[in-house]
Amino acid sequence: MKKLNIREVALQTLLDCEFKYQFLNSAIASSLAKSNLSDKDRALCTELVNGTTRWRKKLDWFISRLVDYPVEQLSPKILNILRLAFYQKIFLSKIPDHALVNEAVEMTKTYEPAAASLVNAVLRRFLREYTQMDLPPEADNPIKFLGLKYSFPEWLIERWHQQYTNKELRTLCETLNQPAPLTVRINPNLTTPEELVGVLAEEGVSARRCRYAEFGLTIKKTRTALTSLNSYQEGLFTIQGESSMLIPLLLQVEKGSTVMDFCAGRGGKTSHLAELAGENGRIIAFESDKENLENNQANGKRLKLDNIEAYSVDLTKADKNWHARADYILVDAPCSGLGSLRRYADARWHKNHSLIERMAELQVRILATAASCLKPGGRLLYSVCTNTCEENELVVTSFLKANPRFSVDQLSDSLPPRCQKMVREKIYFRTLPHRDKLDGFFAVRLTKGA
């Protein structure tokens, strides 16, 4: 079987996302696992796939100026070959023009030979005219202009336009178009930040302390996947976004407590809660997805945490066996994920208003289930990685109306001074990508009355 080159692997990955309905990150991992690309070529392939997907709207606008019919009428292979080539020209200046054209034409000859002359003509014209191809005037339609300039759906630009100033909106778009930094949370039971920096250096990884998270490190440079390192296999750290590292701290968990983690996922926050509760604490992780549950259990084992129990449950249905059992509960609920768009290049194309509405309804139902599991006097933390009012304050308002025994806590004493700007009105925790250079999170802490 013929081994594919970088751009052929990138093309196949884009097509897999479109026709096999794979999420982009999963498709990239699958494609690279089957390839024989070097580490350097894998990095370029990943850049091509993520960049072409992220900037798809803008790329399609340029392509539409150079063909005589809507881009949707191009075959998926040809459209993605052109997208890849246009992306390289606009964003990757080190690739020579002649190489860009030749590689695209050769790929076309392999997959759709009859279209080779079209691809050749479109690319050569683009190379000649690109510097004179201006977007439509902003004054004519500011929302459309910003959607094209930053390659976001217009409904999302319109939403942000109502939420932020024009300057903030542009900065937000620019931030979300940058790759998220790679960060890890150390396992304080096994190492310290300083020790792990040294261990990673010996493994060829350069790291520094995170700006906000006390036990976080930012990976500056690595030659290999972090999951292949001995330090990872030995449980010295967990790969996790920096803003996610701050969420469990808001609960202010006491040692030896019983803590429930609703929507526990793959275990990033579960393991953090287990570390905070200590060896005499009890962490009960609830997750509806069985694959996530297996990963959660494996993560706890890798980190040498013996205080985690994991259960597969329907998070929207109360179980009397868990009634009033927890001192603390984290509900890191499913959400629209608009705060973490920079981590998933394809995510912006899969969101819409109806998703936000459905998530808000689900969040209220999960909170109601969690509330029944909390002891009187216990604390419940609600968090989501999105900044929509429907999934933030309105969910909290709806929950409090239906559950008058609960009250909102002040958060000002829950975080170190450097994080105080993330607390609004003393009760809302909010990180903003364009302000904090972190994923956008919202959280609020509630106490259950007697």
Strands (E), 245-294: 258-262, 282-287
Looking at the fold, whether 364 and 218 belong to one and the same domain comes out as no
Same domain, yes or no: 270 and 375: yes
Task: Answer yes or no: do 33 and 168 share one domain.
Answer: no
Pair 270, 417 in one domain:
yes
Clarify whether residues 442 and 407 are in a common domain: yes
Report strand pairing: 406-408 vs 374-384: unpaired
Q: Is 53 found in the same domain as 151?
A: no
* Domain shared by 278 and 415, yes or no: yes
Q: What are phi and psi of 128, to 5 degrees?
A: -75, -40
Residues 6+ apart with CB under 8 A from 140: none
Cβ(82)–Cβ(74) below 8 Å = yes
Distances (CA, A) of 17 to 80, 91, 310: 12, 22, 31
Task: Give the model's pLDDT for residue 2.
Answer: 62
Which has more confidence, 4 or 159? 159
What's the number of domains the chain is made of? 4
DSSP conformation class of 137: P
Distances (CA, A) of 216 to 44, 98, 232, 337: 27, 44, 14, 22
Task: Please tell me whether residues 209 and 319 are part of one structural domain.
Answer: no
Residue 82's CATH number: 1.10.940.10
In a domain, 1, yes or no: no
Instruction: Assess whether 78 and 201 both reside in one domain.
Output: no
Please tell me the distance from the alpha carbon of residue 355 to that of residue 360, in angstroms, as a whole number.
9
DSSP letters along 11-55, please? Answer: HHHHHHHHHS---HHHHHHHHHHHS---HHHHHHHHHHHHHHHHT
Give the pLDDT mean for 93-98.
Answer: 86
DSSP 66: T
Q: Are residues 191 and 172 in the same domain?
A: no
pLDDT in tens, 297-330: 999 999 999 999 999 999 999 899 999 999 999 9
What's the average model confidence in pLDDT over 169-174? 98
Beta carbons of 215 and 225 less than 8 angstroms apart: no
Q: Provide the whole-model pTM.
A: 0.94
Structural domain containing residue 322: 250-448
Specify whether 208 is located in the same domain as 272. no
User: What DSSP character marks residue 4?
Assistant: P
pLDDT tens digits, one per residue of 234-256: 999 999 999 999 999 999 999 99
1 pLDDT more than 70: no
Report if residue 245 sits inside a domain. Answer: no
- List the CATH number of the domain containing 349: 3.40.50.150
Residues 6+ apart with CB under 8 A from 411: 250, 423, 426, 427, 428, 429, 443, 444, 445
